[in-house]
Amino acid sequence: MYAVAATVAFLLELAALAALGYWGAVAGRGAWAYLLAALAPLVAAVLWGTFASPRAPVRLATVPKVALRLTVLLGGALSLAVAGRTAIAVALAAVVVGDELALIALRRPVAGAS
C-alpha cells in the first residue's frame, strides 16, 4: 500500500510543477508568459529538491517538511484555479489531501522517508 501512495505522491509532484508552468503561461503576457512558465516550476522544484525531497541536502523535521510539501502541491492546485481550471484544481487538491492522509495513516507522512 505504501508503494502506491508514494507513487501517487511522486506523480502529484510532477502535476504540481506542470500546473505551475501552466499558470505561468496563462498569467503572463508576451515574453513574460515564457518567463513565468519556466520560473514558477523551477523555483518550486529548487525548493522541493533542497528541502522536501527524500534525499534533500537540508534536513527538515517532519512537520515543516510536510508543510512545505503541501504548500507546493496545493499551490499547484491553486495556480490551476487562478488560471481558470477550477474543476481540475479541485480534483488535484482532493488527490493531494487523500494521498497525504494515506501516507499519514501508513505512518510515513513524508514520501520516501524511512
Q: Give me 85's grid cell.
A: 481550471
Condensed to tens digits (0 to 9), the pLDDT of residues 61-113 reads 888 998 999 999 999 999 999 999 999 999 999 999 999 999 989 988 775 55
* Least confident segment among 14-23, 28-37, 39-48: 28-37
Domain boundaries, the chain: 2-105
Enumerate the H helices of the chain as residue ranges.
2-27, 31-47, 62-82, 86-105
Amino acid at 50: T
> Averaged over 15-28, what is the pLDDT?
95
Residue linked to cell 527538515: 60
| Cα–Cα distances in angstroms (integers) from residue 74 to residues 1, 8, 12, 30, 48, in the given order | 23, 14, 10, 27, 13
Cβ–Cβ under 8 Å, residues 75 and 82: no
